[in-house]
Amino acid sequence: MRQSATNRFCVIACSTLLLLLTILSPAARGQEETVCIQCHGPQPGKGGAPVKAWRGSIHADNGISCHSCHGGDPNDAANAMSPARGFVGTPQEAGIPAFCGRCHAGIMEDYLKSAHGRALGKGGPTCVTCHGAHEVKKANLELINEKSCSRCHPYDRAAGIKEAMRQTEGLITDIERKIERFKGEGVDTERHEKSLFSLRNRYHRLFHEVDTAKVKRESSHIQQELNTINQTLENLDERNRRRKIAGAMVVGGLLVAALIAHLLKRTYDD
Amino acid sequence: MQTTSRRKFLGICLGGLAAAGTAATAYPLLSYLAPRSIDETGGKVTFPETEIPPDGAKIFDYRGTTGVVIRKQSGELVALSAICTHLGCIVQWENEKQNFLCPCHAGRFTPDGAVISGPPPKPLAKLPITVANGVVTVG
Amino acid sequence: MSPLKSIYHWLNVRLGVDELVEKRLTGYLLPRSINAWYSLGSVLLVIFGIQVVTGILLLIYYVPDAEKAFKSVTYIMNDVHFGWLIRMCHAVGSNMMVAVLLLHMLSALFMGSHKSPRELNWVTGFILFNLVLGISLTGYLLPWSQLSFWATTVATNSAGAIPVIGQYLVEFLRGGKLVGPHTLGRFFAVHVVLLPLVIGALIGAHLFLLERIGVSTPPFGQKETKSTWQGDEFRHESHPGGIPFFPNYLLQDVTSILIYLAIFFCVVFFSPYIFFPPTAFVPADPFKTPAHIKPEWYFLANYQTLKVFPSELLGLMVQGAAMTFLALIPFIDRGKERHPLKRPLFLACFIGGIILFIGMTIWGHYS
């Protein structure tokens, strides 16, 4: 009895210490310290492959670690993979959209409505078919490519969609760059950032749409609004140009005045 | 002689540039200090009718000045400028007397804004008011 | 008599305008060999004036509250008409003031103007220099950006190396354990009221001393370059047969001021961002230190000195010793000779010091 009480005390003390260490040590806040990675990381072959793939993924960059998707206890090696601690392991193929959709809810909705999603379980693609699983990168237009799409169907329709979206993508990155530049110059860009954020989301939701006409229609709406932002940014550029012209006049006037003052002074020199 | 005329010419040039410089300094300075323009046309004020106390007045910001809404005993709503026409103090509604009192120099106004007594030279300005679905709109 | 003339006459018989003009302007004679470097003082006076005026203008819209300061500066930069211009003038002006002040001090040193009997001019000038650094440092925090927040954290932290009282001093400067809203309050008061008043008073003292002892003669192009001052009694150094201040030297002052303004507005309009890294436009976040926090350029040499010494205390002591040496230089460098070419040791130290300062600054910038 006494023995087990001591044990319990030890366990509590140790786990408290561990918890404190986890909270206090700055390194522990990274994903590196989870027991998942401690065991799987060094494993050769299938066991360690996900860890290697995950490093450098957008999930790793944003601090989304193994347990964020697979559940389990990342701090307790003995119970790390216990279903009682919420471990879910690898989903079945038909369960993949729901698995990812726990976080990416809007995208799952779009996907399920699309032809891709309706073919789920009947040979249609799941999330990982195009995005990959552990190595997932920030979504971009290059995910639509001949090699990937023609695994299942001819590429021409996909190419049409990609073309309709390419311009939008270009506009968005262009505006993003401009906003970043203006921000570094002290311009209040908050309003533009907010509207760009919501437009980018609208644009991203198109990615899982496979209805070409709808993609084109929605793309042109988004582009219109992007162009309005672009226009206000160009007005800012124009304003800066006007300021520079005024500045050139001021500096020029001062230099001329300095020259005249100097000449005037010379008339007083003997 | 040549030096004198040269001096005079250069002096005039410098004076001209100094005048231009003064103007170029004054313009940004005055713009910087100019009051921020308030939209005089729009700026409707809306609030739920329930915000007007049954036996009192609601005072609110109205296009950069101050307005007041009262409910007359007839139940009719009246919106007025709350700024006394005498020296610009804010008039207060006195429910038991059913009129406005300006606390600065005891000017009194009727619920419709007309001067009853005291120094105010003009009645309080009326503001357009509409009520729809329990929402009051002034302006 | 025309009305204008009668007003002048009315004033003249009461104020003695004619005598004042004769004594202070047309009859105020300066050495014939005076050069353009002597006009830097007037340039500095104009810069200080611009800082005061733009500072007062900024106060109209600036809110010294940690919650609102950054927003109010953003408002000035974006919504107030010409707010960007006033703010840029103030911020760029502070950097230019330090730069011109350095030139003014170096030229005075080079021409031996600091030597007796002008020790007090040097000492007041040196105190002014330190106060200008202080007003720049305190003003740096006010926009409450990431840059200002963390630069202030680093700058106030170095006081902690002083033994015994160091830690308390850091907290005293900050008004708390860390830089926060209390720091903003005290820095604001010091920047906006205390230091401008003290600087204004010291400028008055500096000019009073100059006026009492008289303008020094540049050592260049003279046969005799030794100081003839005896030290037995007060003597105003006058320059009989010199050039009048008005209009001759005033026009030199005006020329220098206009050239300065041209350079100043060049920076303001075309390249103000040499003084504004992007972190200057991100609101302060006490939980997130941005990478590569560096102090302003004029503190880079001090910053690097602190880093090269194994202990911060040693670095601080070396800097303190260097500053004390500079402050007391007219009492240490007591030779009568004023021409730099006839003072080889001085010249070597002078050039070596400049190279050291520039070298440390560049090293600090790239480290």
Q: Is B64 on the interface with A (CB under 8 A)?
A: no
Decide if A264 and B7 are in contact by the 8 Å CB cutoff.
yes
Query: For residue range A82-122, what is the model confidence (pLDDT) as tens digits?
Result: 888 888 888 888 889 999 999 888 888 888 888 888 888 88
Write down the pLDDT at residue B41.
57
Q: Indicate the domain borders of chain C.
A: 35-220+243-298
Contacts of B111 (CB under 8 A, 6+ apart): B70, B72, B78, B98, B99, B100
Region A12-23: what's the mean pLDDT?
Answer: 45
Which of A148-157, A161-170, C183-192 has the highest mean predicted lDDT (pLDDT)? C183-192
Decide if A251 and C266 are in contact by the 8 Å CB cutoff.
yes
Q: Is the whole model's pTM more than 0.90, yes or no?
A: no
Q: Which of A187, A258, A261 sits opposite C78 (nearest CB)?
A: A187
Write down the pLDDT at residue A33.
66
Query: For residue range A63-72, what is the model confidence (pLDDT) as tens digits?
Result: 888 888 898 8
d(CA A9, CA B31): 73
Q: Which of A250, A263, A264 sits opposite B24 (nearest CB)?
A: A250
> Is the Cα torsion angle A118, A121, A127, A130 positive or negative in sign?
negative
> Is the Cα torsion angle C81, C84, C86, C87 positive or negative in sign?
positive
d(CA C300, CA C303): 5
Among B3, B32, B33, B37, pick the best mutation site for testing chain C contact (most C Cβ within 10 A): B32
| pLDDT grade for A44, boundaries at 50, 70 and 90 | confident
Name the minimum distance, in Å, from the CA of A110 to any CA of chain B. Answer: 39
A105-113 helix and A190-205 helix, angle to the nearest 10 degrees = 40
Q: Is B10 on the interface with A (CB under 8 A)?
A: yes
| pLDDT grade for A31, boundaries at 50, 70 and 90 | very low
* Residues in chain B closer than 8 A to A253 (CB atoms): 17, 20-21, 24
* Residues in chain B closer than 8 A to C80 (CB atoms): 32
d(CA C8, CA B122): 49
Q: What is the rounded average pLDDT for all residues in chain B?
A: 90
Q: Is A254 on the interface with C (CB under 8 A)?
A: yes
Q: Is A188 on the interface with C (CB under 8 A)?
A: yes
d(CA B31, CA B21): 16
Q: Is B31 on the interface with C (CB under 8 A)?
A: yes
Reduced to 3 states (helix: H, G, I; strand: E, B; else coil), residue C323 is helix
* Residues in chain C closer than 8 A to A246 (CB atoms): 269
Decide if B21 and A253 are in contact by the 8 Å CB cutoff.
yes
Name the minimum distance, in Å, from the CA of A174 to any CA of chain B. Answer: 33
From first to last of its 367 residues, what are the pLDDT tens digits of chain C?
Answer: 789 999 999 999 999 999 999 988 999 999 999 999 999 999 999 999 999 999 999 999 999 999 999 999 999 999 999 999 999 999 999 999 999 999 999 999 999 999 989 999 999 999 999 999 999 999 999 999 999 999 999 999 988 888 899 999 999 999 999 999 999 999 999 999 999 999 999 999 999 999 999 999 999 988 888 888 888 899 899 999 999 999 999 999 999 999 999 999 999 999 999 999 889 999 999 988 888 888 899 999 999 998 899 888 999 999 999 999 999 999 998 888 999 999 999 999 999 999 999 999 999 999 8
Q: Which amino acid is at C358?
A: I
Query: For residue range B49-78, what is the model confidence (pLDDT) as tens digits?
Result: 889 888 789 999 888 889 999 988 888 899
Among A179, A181, A185, pick the best mutation site for testing chain C contact (most C Cβ within 10 A): A185
| pLDDT grade for B15, boundaries at 50, 70 and 90 | very high
A21 or C15, higher pLDDT? C15
The C-alpha angle with vertex B86 and arms to B81 and B88, in degrees rounded to 5, equals 55
Superfamily for domain range C35-220+243-298: Cytochrome Bc1 Complex; Chain C (1.20.810.10)
Q: Which of A246, A254, A264 sits opposite C261 (nearest CB)?
A: A254
